[in-house]
């Protein structure tokens, strides 16, 4: 169904004459409904106001009700998705886990993205040895396995929020730097840049006023597509026990908590995984939509 919607939207976009004035209305109408609602209800709303959606305190232990099954499998509405080995409500833990995931994703993409974009501009605009040096660093950064870097940091610094943000941001910046550099290289020698120079514009003004608006769409698309990837990275790190520290509920950690009980109490691991799957899949679909909408020529690159 979502696929159909996206398809119709694409056709609508193709038919559309030069950008209509009511662009915003059209944009909203062409939003892929299913992924957008999943994102809203599984990720964004729980992250903003978990106390409104949760039924219990995510850390509250109910020993008598431990390992009770989900509602359709012999459980009660008191714990709709069942409880874990300490009797904590899985549903409420999922709701409260969204904030950590989203927070890590937004922070790391903001930090990694800003650094990468800035370095990409420096490399593409100023060129010469700075360019070769920075691109060398990009290659190095892309060849360091993120999980091993995270494990090394975790041993050296101890696991914490700061550590995962640092590690993930370190593994993200290179993608932005490479992308922006490529775009800037293509734009740098355009006539309007030369004219701005003649008119006496400073480097900073040329970058901010004339180049940035041309690459901002590309950056936005990359950032959107990366939210899902980062949520997955964070979940993997939490699964390995070096992500979001206890007792804060995290989806990846919940999966590892239920690992040994999968044969009998499957719901402990199953639902957090479904949450990740739904959110990441929706983010991918949403990112594809955004890419098609903002910049069709990127379809090949990203």
Partner 1 sequence: MWWYLAKRLLQSLATLFVVSFLAFFMSRISGSPVDALLPVDAGQEEADILIAEWGLDRPLPVQYLTFLGNALQGDLGEALKWRGQSALGLVLERLPATMTLAGAAILLGLVIAVPLGVISAVKKGTWIDRVAKVIALLGQSLPEFWLGIVLIWIIAVNLGWLPTSGTGGLSHLVLPAITLSTTLVAAITRLTRSAMLDALDSEFIKLCRVKGVRERRIIWVHALRNAVSVPLTYFGVLAGAILTRTVVIETVFAWPGTGSLVIEAVLGRDFAVVQAAMIVFVLVFIAANLFVDILYAVIDPRIRVE
Distance CA 280, CA 260 (A): 25
- Please identify, using beta-carbon distances, which residue of 211 and 254 lies nearer to partner 1: 254
Pairwise CA distance, residues 121 & 135, whole Å = 12
How many residues sit in the footprint of partner 1 (CB under 8 A)?
Answer: 46
Output the smallest distance, CB 135 to partner 1, in A.
10
Residue from the set 20, 25, 61, 144 that interacts with partner 1 by CB under 8 A: 144
What is each CA distance from 36 to 29, 108, 206, 223, 230, in whole angstroms? 12, 22, 36, 17, 18
Dist. CA 181–CA 254, nearest whole Å: 40
Q: Is 142 in the site for partner 1 (CB under 8 A)?
A: yes
Q: Is 155 in the site for partner 1 (CB under 8 A)?
A: yes
Would you say 103 or 274 has its CB closer to partner 1? Answer: 274
> Of 225, 271, 265, 266, which Cα lies nearest the Cα of 251?
271
Q: Indicate which single residue of 143, 191, 213, 297 sits in contact with partner 1 (rule: CB under 8 A).
A: 143
Neighbours of 126 (CB within 10 A): 15
Residues 212-251 that bind partner 1 (CB under 8 A): 228, 232, 235-236, 239-242
Q: Among 146, 185, 212, 294, which residue sits at the site for partner 1 (rule: CB under 8 A)? A: 146
Q: b or e along 83-120 (b: 16 or more beta carbons within 10 Å of the residue's beta carbon)?
A: bbeebbbbbbbbbbbbbbbbebbebbbebbbebbbebb
Instruction: Rank residues 38 and 193 by Cβ distance to partner 1 and give the closer one.
Output: 38
Which one among 147, 196, 201, 298 touches partner 1, defined by CB under 8 A?
147
Which structure tokens are listed for 7? 């398809």
Residues that bind partner 1 (CB under 8 A): 3, 136-137, 139-140, 142-149, 151-157, 228, 232, 235-236, 239-242, 252, 255-256, 259, 262-263, 266, 269-270, 272-273, 276-277, 280-281, 284-285, 300
């Amino acid at each position: 169904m979502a696929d159909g919607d996206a398809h119709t939207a694409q056709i609508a976009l193709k038919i559309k004459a030069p950008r209509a004035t009511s662009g915003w209305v059209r944009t909203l109408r062409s939003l892929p409904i299913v992924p957008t609602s999943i994102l809203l209800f599984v990720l964004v709303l729980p992250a903003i106001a978990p106390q409104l959606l949760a039924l219990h305190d995510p850390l509250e232990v109910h020993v008598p009700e431990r390992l009770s099954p989900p509602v359709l499998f012999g459980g009660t509405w008191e714990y709709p998705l069942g409880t874990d080995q300490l009797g904590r409500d899985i549903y409420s833990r999922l709701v409260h886990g969204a904030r950590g995931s989203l927070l890590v994703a937004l922070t790391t993409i903001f930090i990694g993205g800003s650094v990468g974009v800035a370095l990409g501009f420096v490399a593409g605009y100023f060129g010469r040895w700075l360019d070769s040096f920075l691109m060398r660093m990009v290659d190095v950064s892309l060849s360091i396995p993120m999980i091993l870097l995270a494990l090394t940091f975790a041993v050296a610094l101890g696991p914490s929020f700061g550590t995962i943000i640092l590690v993930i941001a370190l593994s993200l910046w290179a993608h932005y730097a490479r992308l922006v550099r490529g775009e800037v290289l293509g734009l740098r020698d355009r006539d309007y840049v030369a004219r701005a120079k003649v008119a006496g514009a400073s480097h900073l003004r040329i970058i901010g006023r004339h180049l940035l608006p041309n690459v901002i769409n590309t950056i936005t698309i990359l950032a959107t597509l990366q939210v899902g990837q980062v949520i997955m990275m964070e979940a993997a790190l939490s699964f390995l026990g070096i992500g979001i520290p206890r007792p804060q509920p995290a989806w990846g950690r919940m999966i590892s908590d239920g690992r040994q009980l999968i044969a009998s109490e499957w719901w402990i691991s199953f639902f957090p995984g479904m949450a990740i799957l739904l959110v990441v899949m929706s983010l991918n679909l949403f990112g594809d939509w955004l890419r098609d909408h903002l910049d069709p020529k990127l379809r090949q690159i990203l």
